[in-house]
Amino acid sequence: MRDLIAPIALHAAHYAVLLVAWWVLGRGALNGQMDTGWLAAWALLLLTAVPLHLFAVRAQGRFTVGAGALLKRRLLHGTLRLNSEEIRHQGIGHWLGRVIESSAIESLALNGGFQALVAMIELALAMWVLGAGSAGFQLAMLLVGYVGLTLIVVWRYYRRRFEWTEMRMTMAGDLIERMVGHRTRLAQEPPERWHDGEDQVIERYLARSLKLDRADLWQSLLPRGWLALGLCGLALSFVAGSPTSAAMAVAIGGLLLGFRGLQHLVASLSSLLGASIAWSEIRDVFNAAARPQTHGLPEFAARHRLQPAMAAPVVIEAHDLTFRYRERARAVLRGCTLQIRAGDRVLLEASSGGGKSTLASLLTGLREPESGLMLAGGLDRRTIGAQGWRRRVVSAPQFHENHVMTATFAFNLLMGRSWPPSPDDFREAEEVCRSLGLGDLLDKMPSGLLQMVGETGWQLSHGERSRLYMARALLQGADLTILDESFGALDPETLDECLHCAMMRAPTLMVIAHP
């Protein structure tokens, strides 16, 4: 709260000092008393305004940086709270657009908010100054009415900008999806169809851009219109009566202060309305951070962790599970019941679309069943907590749902454990990699485990990625490890090597494969 109050108070003090400085100068000039004392007082007040302005900008910057950091943390927290179905139904382009809009809302909202506060201070001072000048009440009411007209014009600009932003987001998403699928398009799509529909989209975007530019033009003319209207009103008061030169000077000063206030008002409202448009894109992610999460009773769950001395305890069991995707009326799983004990080696086979991966996502806690009961070590999810459940059951998802991060090979291996890793973690990671047949890869990479991989790093083959995903799951040391179609890209010899490694390192193992 102090970081917010400080810039507001400093801005108010800055404008108060400027107002007093020009009052001193005007009084001395109009009274014919421009001696050294008046000039010294005016210069001293102006010098006082300089550090006040610097301190105000510094306090505003400090608040902006702090608020921006809080917003980014909240959005990251909300992103991690989204479930897989919410992410699955939105493309990469849409999510990149959200990232762009999150940066926009940070700059637009914070800067626009401070500009709005400055505009309110300036307009309030302008009405007070106008009230003290020639035709004071009439000019002050004229300023109030002109502010209302400004709000109407800015609202029209908001509607045009909303339509333009919607079109821009659609184009950006489509472009990114085309870039992601560029290799597929090169191989499958005829060259003459690569740009189908682009002209129509660009034409619609251009039409909305022209409407936005016209609205922006009218908006930019508003402060200048106030000067013209105010001078006309001042001229009428001059013709109707015989105001003093002091009253005329005060009125002109009020007009100029109102002009500056309207400039800041238009700029701040444009920023705030732009922020509200960006907010509509990130609102769901922001609100997701407040979703309740099952923390469970970690101390109680830790005391009831599976013990090696126990004779084949039940690692996980499910009773009458039912699950359906929200866009489907038919349940993917219905009445599913299973029990897996410590040391079991389970092979799950079914045809495509049979629910194998769905069952794996339920067992690992990535999805929640529509009905039924699941227990891990005899404890339900509420007792263990969401994080505790995922520590007990881990999986290597299918290739299209798994990713190689643009980071070191070691980070991609050990991201499921504590970071930074210890020397023992590095040794275990290398041992697992060599057991999975990745020894030649480690020897080829100049930096070994510290080699950068990913889109901009060392390029891994399909089979190398599959083994990286397996190593990532095995290194987490969970009670149950699920490998979802992890062996499809491997030759028979490498498959046997990897299967042997998984069976040796996983206390309990489930392998999902096609028949």
pLDDT of amino acid 170 = 80
Tokens matching residue 407: 């980071």
Tokens matching residue 228: 């013209």
Location of structure tokens 């339900």 = 380
Number of Cβ atoms within 10 Å of the Cβ of 499 = 19
436 phi and psi angles, rounded to 5 deg: -90, 5
DSSP string computed for 413-466: HHTTS-SSPPHHHHHHHHHHHHHTT-HHHHHHSTTGGG-EESTTSBPPPHHHHH
252 phi and psi angles, rounded to 5 deg: -65, -40
Which residues pair with residue 336 across a beta bridge? 321
Does residue 396 contact residue 472 with C-beta atoms inside 8 Å? yes
Alpha-carbon span 19 to 53, nearest angstrom: 14
pLDDT of amino acid 32 = 66
Does residue 434 contact residue 442 with C-beta atoms inside 8 Å? yes
The stretches in the chain having pLDDT less than 70 are 1, 28-34, 85, 88-91, 93, 106, 110, 186-187, 241-242, 293-312, 327, 456-457
Tokens matching residue 233: 């009103």
pLDDT of amino acid 438 = 92
Alpha-carbon span 82 to 367, nearest angstrom: 11
Does residue 510 contact residue 362 with C-beta atoms inside 8 Å? no
Alpha-carbon span 136 to 132, nearest angstrom: 6
| Euclidean distance between the first and the last CA atom of the chain, given in angstroms as a whole number | 63
Cβ partners under 8 Å of residue 313, min gap 6: 306, 307, 341, 342, 377
Cis peptide upstream of residue 313 (ω within 30 degrees of 0):
no
Q: Whose CA is closest to 512, among 301, 403, 361?
A: 361
Measured in whole angstroms, the distance separating CA 509 from the mean position of its chain's CA atoms is 37
- Classify 333 as helix, strand or coil: strand
pLDDT of amino acid 210 = 92
pLDDT of amino acid 309 = 46
**CA R_g for the chain:** 33
pLDDT of amino acid 383 = 83
| Domains and their CATH numbers in the chain | 82-181+195-287 (1.20.1560.10), 343-366+381-513 (3.40.50.300)
DSSP string computed for 345-405: EEEEE--TTSSHHHHHHHHTTSS--SEEEEEETTB-HHHH-HHHHHHHEEEE--GGG----
Alpha-carbon span 317 to 340, nearest angstrom: 6
pLDDT of amino acid 61 = 79
Q: Helical H runs in 133-197?
A: 136-180, 182-188
Cα angle 98-99-101, degrees, rounded to a multiple of 5:
60
Cis peptide upstream of residue 420 (ω within 30 degrees of 0):
yes
Does residue 212 contact residue 164 with C-beta atoms inside 8 Å? yes
Does residue 62 contact residue 3 with C-beta atoms inside 8 Å? yes
The mean pLDDT of the chain is 83
pLDDT of amino acid 432 = 94
